Amino acid sequence: MKANQFLDFEKPIIELEDKITELNRAAAVQNVPVDDEVKRLTEKARKLRSEIYSKLTAWQYVQLARHPLRPYTIDYIREISDDFVELRGDRAFADDPSIVGGLISIGDKRCMIIGHQKGRNTKENIHRNFGMPHPEGYRKALRLMKLAEKFRRPIVTLIDTPGAYPGIGAEERGQAEAIARNLREMAALRVPTVSVVIGEGGSGGALALGVSNRILMLEYSIYSVISPEGCAAILWQDPAKNRDAAEALHLTPKHLVSLGVVDRIVKEPEVGAHRDLSAMAAELKRAIYEELNYLGHVDEAALIESRREKYMKIGFFTEDSP
Amino acid sequence: MSWFKRSKKSLKATAPKKNMPDGLWQKCQYCGEILYIKELEKALWVCSKCGYHFMIGTDQYIEILCDSGTFEETHTGIRSVDPLEFKDVKKYSDRLKQSMSKTGREDAVITGFAKLSGRDVVIAIMDFSFMGGSMGSVVGEKIARAMNDATKYRRPLIIVSRSGGARMQESILSLMQMAKTAAMLAKMSEERIPYISVLTNPTTGGVTASYGSLGDVIIAEPRALIGFAGPRVIKQTIGQELPDGFQRSEFLLEHGMIDMICPRDGLRDRIGDLLEFFCVAVAATPSEADKNEGESSAVS
């Protein structure tokens, strides 16, 4: 495996797996019995992996959420169904490729699916702007949500962005307004909405697709008000403190569930989403389907009311008794 | 060659140094004019020479916007509990204590009932001197409650924003206050309660990207810095200098992001006029409006 395709802490596992592959290859060529050894090494790799993954630091969660092999929105869309029809453009300025959206069947449910899209290599990343949308991306997303609402189709959003793009054009065209409007409009949608953080949940740029009835996170994804790097630069005035910042920001799924922000964690395959796309996609599809199934029985008014209630409850403070 | 002919401008201090007795004079941060504080106060802290709007306190906005003596503070006694036990180079709990003793406030916003040009309103004013006016659980909750009051009592809402954005020390909880306040605004909108957003210097990040940008009418003070990302972040990202006047009120007006720029001394009248327009329409169904026609007390 190429060096830039695994993280430092994954290295011992990768080495063991390479050894197993090598053994199997040798066995095939020379017809030597290696089954016992392979079995032993496989077990060893599994143990090592579960040991490493059970003790991940917050920063390692960040690294996994940004893993170069981590599946992106389009990867999941392809696995979930082959009937996806992409719809493009905000009807006002441009089509923003850092957000993709369109019609899809999830099991027997016809849905609108919308997600941030990162690039796999430099060329793709330039096209996708590293998954950092401009206002037109959020306006496209809103257009598609309104379209789904009109035809009473549920909406699924996949969140994976470092954040909304901070640039001159973005400000000129109202990045803040585009995000703010999405928050307000999503809060009032008359159809079931399910959001899943599949990688990086980067601040307002993530939230602009994430005001939903149900908020899910993949096991090794993150969600935060600011990137650890940004936080370290501002509060510690030292970008090298990103590990401390990651810890302090409580950005892992477990933390977010305990804070009452996230409703459900979707388990990743033992090897992580980045090393078993089809297993991950199947699990994701199952989780989304369950949520849609449940929300499908809730009437329109209750959908809006319970969604608003959910957000009204978020936050911690003390209050003097009057 | 023009290079050699160019006359060299002699270096000079940007503003002549003057000795100022403490508390009597104030230098304009924009044009450098030395201003007599008593005059400046009378002018609502607007430079008489260049029109620069000094940052002012929350109490001053109450004076400027509310009819004298009508402001009644609501939702007091709500304080942060440092839910994440956040610590960078300093503990969040210490930062909170410091800000509380410095400002005498419990967090970065106050809310209340008041009259504005004779009309009952709900008003929220953010306080930049409390941790940069940042929004955490307390600010989000108080803003949401003010919105709830506006809806419940059918009074127009005015929010004066100035904020560095979501408060990092409460991480995701701060981010979710954007969703909370926006969700309440969706309800207010359905209930047809007018909301005037007043953006003052500076308003960026999570406040601009939630209720700040969602006013039925958005008014900005002159030359206020208003944007999503801060100028420093943008400069770092794109690696070039930012154009003059970028993210200032005038820039936002030109790009269609705000309705108007209004100097401080005209704010109350302007908001009063807007509410006059909206509230008559809100208060009544067409038949009631017919009935009310001719009645002089058509105040909300």
Domain residue spans of chain A: 3-55, 62-313
B171: chain A residues, CB-CB within 8 Å: 224-226, 248-251
pLDDT tens digits along A78-129: 999 999 999 999 999 999 999 999 999 999 999 999 999 999 999 999 999 9
A210: chain B residues, CB-CB within 8 Å: 179
Burial of A197 (0-12, 13-18, 19+ CB in 10 A): buried
Model pLDDT, residue B29: 87
Find tokens 């990086």 and name the residue: A200
Q: What is the DSSP letter of A268?
A: P
Distance CA B155, CA B193 (A): 7
CB A307 within 8 A of CB A211: yes
Within 8 A by CB and 6+ apart from B288, the residues are none
Tell me whether residues A251 and B172 touch, CB distance under 8 A. yes
CB A274 within 8 A of CB A70: yes
Q: What is the ipTM, given to two decimal places?
A: 0.95
Alpha helices (H) in B105-220, listed in sequence order: 137-152, 171-190
CB B127 within 8 A of CB B109: yes
CB A164 within 8 A of CB A204: yes
Assigned fold of A62-313: 2-enoyl-CoA Hydratase; Chain A, domain 1 (3.90.226)
DSSP string of A160-222?
EES-S--SHHHHHTTHHHHHHHHHHHHHT-SS-EEEEEEEEEEHHHHHTT---SEEEEETT-E
B55-284 architecture in CATH? Alpha-Beta Complex (3.90)
pLDDT tens digits along B21-62: 567 899 998 899 999 999 999 999 999 999 999 999 999 999
Distance CA B275, CA A97 (A): 41
Domain residue spans of chain B: 24-54, 55-284
Tell me whether residues B208 and A188 touch, CB distance under 8 A. no
Q: One digit per residue, pLDDT tens: chain B, 300 residues?
A: 455 665 656 665 555 455 555 678 999 988 999 999 999 999 999 999 999 999 999 999 999 999 999 999 999 999 999 999 999 999 999 999 999 999 999 999 999 999 999 999 999 999 999 999 999 999 999 999 999 999 999 999 999 999 999 999 999 999 999 999 999 999 999 999 999 999 999 999 999 999 999 999 999 999 999 999 999 899 988 888 999 999 999 999 999 999 999 999 999 999 999 999 988 644 445 555 455 554 444 344
pTM: 0.91
CB pairs under 8 A between A and B: 202
Which chain A residue has the Cα nearest residue B238?
A167
Within 8 A by CB and 6+ apart from B133, the residues are B108, B109, B126, B127, B161, B162, B163, B164, B207
Distance CA A122, CA B70 (A): 60
Q: Which of residues 303-322 of A touch B (CB under 8 A)?
A: 307-308, 311-312, 314-320, 322
Tell me whether residues B209 and A176 touch, CB distance under 8 A. yes
Other C-beta atoms lying within 10 Å of the C-beta of residue B102: 11
Span A296-322, average pLDDT = 95
Distance CA B262, CA B229 (A): 23
Conformational region of residue A65, where left means phi above 0, alpha means psi within -120 to 50, and beta covers everything else: alpha
B144: chain A residues, CB-CB within 8 Å: 312
Distance CA A137, CA A94 (A): 8
**Which helix or strand (DSSP H or E) is residue A61 part of?**
helix A58-65
pLDDT tens digits along B240-275: 899 999 999 999 999 999 999 999 999 999 999 999
CB B139 within 8 A of CB B107: yes
